[in-house]
Amino acid sequence: MNENMRKILDKIKEYKKIFIFRHFRPDGDAVGSTKGLARILKLTYPDKEIYLQNADFADYVAFLGKEDEILPDEEYADALGLVLDTATQDRISNKKYALCKELVKIDHHIPVQSYGVCEWVEEERSSCCEMIAAFYSAFKDELKIDKEAATYIYTGMVTDSGRFRFREVSGETMRLAGLMLDQGIDADKIYAHLYMKEFHTFKFEAYVLKNIRITENGVASLFVTKKMKKKFHLTNEEASASVSYMDSIKNALIWIAFIEHDDGTIRVRLRSRFVTVSELAERYRGGGHACASGATVYSKAEIKALLKDADALLKDYKEKNEGWL
């Protein structure tokens, strides 16, 4: 247990009302960690008022169930805000977080911005859910958990670690995942929910696979236009998932999906093996993890520029490192 975890538990004990926040366009980890922590706190402190206060949701983990409605402004003034999985305040989905009396940050992204009265940031953790599992484990004698909380947490651990495949996965990750499994969760069911796809998504996948491009030095990319989304009846979330279609092309150590949104902005999802892409993302209004980052661009010219920069980055990496796949 570290000192920050203890400070956070003390803060939680100080407050009667606790609101839990996460980043916008949430992923399985953002949803799982917020729901998991809320459930642990509700079980442990039945007299406290614990609410999830988020402005958006993630369809692909909708099986985890519904969330609380956003409460009126006046409810925030005496609340402690716990912000999970969110590196910078501008990425918090519900802007009313600023009305909370105090904020606490719990995160596993590269720490580009410090905020809140206490912070616990561990960028080497494979997920924020892993941190919540570690939090529970550190205070096992005080905190309560059940199958429901463990299901939320395990789901986020699975999704953010690429099914326990990414480099950040450690022995500790597996021990904590084991602790969640010990609560009697149905992992088979969780995986079924995560892997099942709609038929139209398969058709889209086939189309995308035919249209992947690759730069001279091996940057794979695809561009999902508004027109394509309409043709295949895709939500932005389904379109965004296409980045994973490129994750196993030999020599393509960087792969990027560009998703055109209805307002004309183009969301960029950058992924890589071994090569750090977060600095590249930062140059295009983004950030994230070393091998999984996001950014935003506004034109085809910017797509071209980003691909050129990514290609140069990969060229440099390949020249300096041997034995890449």
Cα three-residue angle 141-6-147, rounded to 5 degrees = 45
**Amino acid at the residue 305:** A
**Does position 297 bind ligand AMP by CB under 6 A?**
no
Q: What's the closest the beta carbon of residue 223 comes to ligand AMP, in angstroms?
A: 15
Contact 157, 194 (CB under 8 A): no
Contact criterion met (CB below 8 Å) for 120 and 299 = no
Q: Which of 289, 297, 311, 314 binds ligand AMP (CB under 6 A)?
A: 289
CA distance 35 to 149: 7
Q: Is 44 or 265 the residue whose CB approaches ligand AMP more closely?
A: 265
> Could you give the residue ranges of the DSSP H alpha helices within the chain?
3-14, 28-44, 128-138, 147-160, 171-181, 187-195, 199-211, 226-231, 236-240, 278-282, 300-320
Q: Which residue from 253, 286, 306, 314 is in contact with ligand AMP, where contact means CB under 6 A? A: 286
Distance CA 73, CA 51 (A): 14
Q: Which of 28, 36, 116, 287 binds ligand AMP (CB under 6 A)?
A: 287
Q: How far apart are CA 128 and CA 121, in angstroms?
A: 9
Question: With CB under 6 A as the contact rule, which of the stretches 67-75, 185-193, 201-209, 292-300 interacts with ligand AMP?
Answer: 292-300
Residue 238 contacts ligand AMP per CB under 6 A: no
Q: How far is the CB of 94 from ligand AMP (least distance, A)?
A: 16
With CA atoms as reference, report the closest residue to 261 among 280, 288, 234, 243.
234
Choose which of 294, 303, 306, 311 interacts with ligand AMP (CB under 6 A): 294
Sole window of 146-154, 165-173, 180-188, 283-291 interacting with ligand AMP (rule: CB under 6 A):
283-291
Contact (Cβ atoms closer than 8 angstroms) between residue 111 and residue 121: yes
| Whole-number Å distance between alpha carbons of 316 and 325 | 15
By CB under 6 A, tell whether 106 contacts ligand AMP.
no
Subset of residues 109 to 128 that bind ligand AMP, contact rule: CB under 6 A: 109
Min CB(142)–ligand AMP separation in Å: 30
Amino acid letter, residue 288? G
Cα 142 versus chain centre, distance: 28
Per-position x/- string for 85-104, each x denoting binding to ligand AMP as judged by CB under 6 A, each - no binding: --x-----------------
Smallest gap from Cβ 240 to ligand AMP, in A, equals 7
Strand partners of residue 26: none
Is residue 132 within 8 A of residue 150, CB to CB? The reply is no
Q: Least CB distance from residue 243 to ligand AMP, whole Å?
A: 7
Q: To the nearest whole angstrom, how small is the minimum distance from the Cβ of residue 157 to ligand AMP?
A: 14
Among 129, 158, 269, 275, binds ligand AMP (CB under 6 A): 269
| 28 contributes a contact to ligand AMP by CB under 6 A | no
- Which of 18, 20, 22, 27 is the binder for ligand AMP (CB under 6 A)? 27
Report the interface residues with ligand AMP, using CB under 6 A.
Answer: 23, 27, 87, 109, 269, 286-289, 292-295
